[in-house]
Amino acid sequence: MFNIKSMILLVGLLMLNGCAVPPALTPVSQIEDVQSHQQQPSKPVTRQRATQKMPKVVEYRCQKNQKVRVQPNSNQKSKAIQVTFNQTSHKLSSAVTKIGKKYSNIRWIWREDFNGRGQLSDNRGKILADNCIRQ
């Protein structure tokens, strides 16, 4: 049938055929191939608009027709507020107290009792706005 030489030749040809190098793609054809894969239609992307709730601004009417505006900080983790009085605003941080809410920084102190009445004073104890009633 087959002799050894023809078997070796046949096995050698099969091995050479299996190791053949595929034809190389040019850089242009590689880019076109990548772009054609990227342009295939996919699921439509639906975008939802993120709506951020505006913090509620609370206005207080005080003695001598003064107004104090208190706005909670938009960051839920922070217990800070923004207090506006006489066109000046300061960010005040919460403090622990037994008689109500207290917020302060190095300039102002805002106290609010459980009845909804507030008082704004400076760091020296001078009362800026007293008997403030929530509106």
Question: Could you read off the pLDDT of 32-51 as tens digits, one per residue?
Answer: 776 666 665 556 666 666 66
Mean pLDDT of the region 47-65: 79
Nearest C-alpha neighbor of 68 from the set 122, 115, 135, 114: 135
Give yes or no for residue 56 having a pLDDT over 60: yes
Distance in angstroms (rounded) separating the CA atoms of residues 100 and 88: 24
Q: How far is CA 105 from the centre of its chain?
A: 26
pLDDT at 9: 80
pLDDT at 8: 82
Mean pLDDT of the region 127-132: 94
Cα distances from 128 to residues 28, 60, 68, 119, in angstroms, run 75, 13, 10, 8
Tell me if 64 sits within 8 A of 130, measured CB to CB: no
Task: Say if pTM beats, i.e. exceeds, 0.75.
Answer: no
Tell me if 94 sits within 8 A of 79, measured CB to CB: yes
Query: pLDDT class for 17, splitting at 50, 70, 90?
Result: low
Binning the chain into helix, strand and coil, the percentages to the nearest 5 are 20, 35, 40
With a pLDDT cut of 70, the percent of the chain lying above it is 70
Mean pLDDT of the region 46-64: 77
Instruction: Tell me phi and psi for residue 70, to 5 degrees.
Output: -120, 125
Angle, vertex CA 24, rays to CA 18 and CA 41, nearest 5: 105
Mean pLDDT of the region 80-100: 90
pLDDT at 36: 67
Mean pLDDT of the region 62-78: 85
pLDDT at 61: 95
pLDDT at 89: 94
Distance in angstroms (rounded) separating the CA atoms of residues 73 and 134: 18
